[in-house]
Chain A
Amino acid sequence: MLSALLTLSGLGLIAAAGLAVASRVFYVDVDPRIGTITEILPGANCGACGFPGCGGLAKAIVEGGAQVEYCTVVDKQAAIAVADVMGAIYTESEKDYAIIHCDFPAGGVSEKFKYLGVNDCRAANLISGGPKLCSFACIGLGTCKDVCPFDAITMTDEGLPVVNMERCTACGNCVEACPKNIIDLAPKSRVVHVQCSSKDKGGAVKKICTVGCISCMACEKVCPYEAIKIIDNIAQIDYDKCRSCGICVTKCPTVSIVNRRDHDLVAEISDKCNGCTLCARACPVNAITGEPKEMHKVDSDSCIGCGICVDQCKRGAVILKKVEKQAAVAKVRVVG
């Protein structure tokens, strides 16, 4: 009895003392900021940031290479607090989201063969590039949906993935998983996208898809910011230069460029206008009219809300106003 008591408590004491000594001897200096930031972070250890728990993200922030925005849960207040700890100034950085560059028309693209294999795009792609006639088209087996950790991707009945902009955190899993490489990331403020990835020549595209890019160069010519270029027979938008003005959308003959904005913008000229004519000359769709030295007017029907006039006006007389999207004006896709 006594020996048992003594042995066990003795062992316990030895272990405790050993650990106490070891924690001093083998003490590892850790940056105190890591602890502070860990406390500021939500503490849910959800792993959405890609690091093992909040502590992992805190460590990565302190050691560089990670931003507090990696955390999808953190609010602005906490982000500012983290910036304070790091001695940085908080600037709201823009979040990206995933764009799927394929939007085949209703009814889909014709198939080369019936695919009955493993229900995964990557597997299907191994068999002569998948079952779709267009070798650049979305295979539609939903691998991107399966790898999305945030349930941000849903599949339509026609087998096209749709990204939920609110839920997407731009983690890039789908970009990596897509065997056709038709997904990439764009800033959330950019709403004009090319919905085709085909590098085939115009004629070949036209035969198999009604909404494919036929590299007609119309968008490249019309873009006032030189943001859109035809490279390898496909229109590609440089999101750094693009201002989402949407002129290319109006010019595209196959409707392979779309504007995802949920409202329309219309320019409005206030009485600050002194009639300098700068805006009227800059307008790509000639929606602004007016005599020199007199107040100009915007024809709201032809205005596409590109905002070029706003940049041109030196007196701040032109502003963009949000208006309800006019469904009737939007081009309706011809299903064929």
Chain B
Amino acid sequence: MSKLLLLIISAVLVNNFVLARFLGICPFLGVSKKTETAIGMGMAVIFVMSIASLVTWILQEYVLMPYNIEYLQTIVFILVIASLVQLVEMIIQKVSPVLYQALGIFLPLITTNCAVLGVAVLSIQKGYGFWEAVIFGIGAAIGFALALVLFAGIRERLDLADVPKPLRGTAIALITAGLLSLAFMGFSGLVK
């Protein structure tokens, strides 16, 4: 139990996907202009990453390994994640239009998010068991959502700040992202 808890903390804070592993930078910069949309994106990522890590682990264990075709991992995972997201989107649209509205455009956008593929590949590389893989997926997603929402909050404040002209816009956003990443580096050593 304590091992799983440590796994979550390590995935959320210490080895944060965006700020320590630098995965999923595109949506991190792209949808972090408003806290509201950042929360929507964060929720969608948590949703997709949890399911993706679950399904890809099963595929690796029961399809790829028995047939000795692990070298097809990347292409198989992409195929599965993409169709999975499509399927989930259809189901949500039918079952819960409210959730569909809330996640909106972000759900299909995540299909090609490298963080989602990253979590699947990493949990295989680290040799996690089934539950560990799932928890790792959820933790990584929460870490992503946390970083995104924090960053969006800072960027909203930045809009009001008196930023020197050449640094306005993306430039200051990148500097801020770097500082946020440095801050998260402070968590290293929290979990061995």
Sorted nearest first, the 9 A-B pairs with minimum C-beta distance are: A15-B83, A26-B94, A3-B67, A26-B90, A4-B69, A22-B90, A28-B93, A22-B87, A118-B160
- For the A-B complex, the count of residue pairs with Cβ-Cβ distances under 8 Å equals 54
Given contacts A7-B72, A23-B90, contact A15 B80 (CB under 8 A): yes
Q: Enumerate chain B residues within 8 angstroms of A119, measured Cβ to Cβ.
A: 162
Q: Name the distance in Å between B68's Cβ and chain A's nearest Cβ.
A: 8
Residues in B lying within 8 Å of A, measured CB to CB = 59, 63-64, 67-69, 72, 75-76, 79-80, 83, 86-87, 90-91, 93-95, 97, 104-105, 160-162
Question: Contact at A8–B161, with CB atoms within 8 Å?
Answer: no
Chain B's closest residue to A27 (CB) is: B94
Contacts of B68 in A (CB 8 A): 3
**In the assembly, what is the distance between CA of A8 and CA of B76, in Å?**
7
With CB as the reference atom, state the residue of chain B lying closest to A143.
Answer: B160
Closest to A116 in B: B162
CB distance from B141 to the nearest CB of A (A): 22
Q: Does A74 contact B (CB under 8 A)?
A: no
A26 touches B80 (CB 8 A): no
A11 to B63, CA, bound (A): 10
Chain B, interface SS category:
helix
Distance from B185 Cβ to chain A, minimum over Cβ atoms (Å) = 30
Given the complex, which residues of B lie within 8 Å of A26, measured CB to CB? Answer: 90-91, 93-95
Smallest CB separation, A152 vs chain B (Å): 20
A11-25 contacts to B (CB < 8 Å): 11-12, 15-16, 18-19, 22-23, 25
Residue A50, interface by CB 8 Å: no
Complex: A120 Cα to B160 Cα, angstroms: 7
A141 to chain B, nearest CB (A): 11
User: Number of residues in A with C-beta < 8 Å to the partner?
Assistant: 21
With a cutoff of 8 Å between Cβ atoms, the chain A residues found around residue B97 in the complex are: 28
Q: Is the CB–CB distance between B67 and A118 below 8 Å?
A: no
Complex CA distance for A123 and B161, rounded to whole angstroms: 10
A35 at the interface (CB under 8 A from B): no
**Chain A residues within an 8 Å CB radius of B64:** 7
A52 contacts chain B at the CB level, 8 A cutoff: yes
Partner of A22, one of B69, B91, B105, B162: B91
**Measured between alpha carbons, how far is A105 from B167 in the docked complex, in Å?**
35
Shortest Cβ distance from residue A46 to the other chain B in the assembled complex, whole angstroms:
15
Q: Give Cα A19 to B94, complex, Å.
A: 14
What separation, in Å, do the CA atoms of A15 and B75 have in the docked complex? 13
The contact of A18 among B87, B93, B94, by CB within 8 Å, is: B87
A 211-235 binary contact with B (CB < 8 Å = 1; else 0):
0000000000000000000000000
Contacts of B72 in A (CB 8 A): 4, 7-8
A105 to B135, CA, bound (A): 66
Using Cβ atoms and an 8 Å threshold, which residues of chain B touch A12?
79
| Beta-carbon nearest neighbor of A3 in chain B | B67
A3 with B83: CB separation less than 8 A: no
Is the CB–CB distance between B161 and A11 below 8 Å?
A: no
Residues of B within 8 A of A22 (CB): 87, 90-91
CA distance A152 to B37 in the complex (A): 26
| Chain A contacts for B80, CB-based, 8 A | 11, 15
Say how far B55's CB is from chain A's closest CB, in angstroms.
Answer: 11
| Contact, CB under 8 Å: A52 / B105 | yes
Bound-state CA distance A123–B83 (Å) is: 48
Give the shortest distance, in Å, between B74 (CB) and chain A (any CB): 12
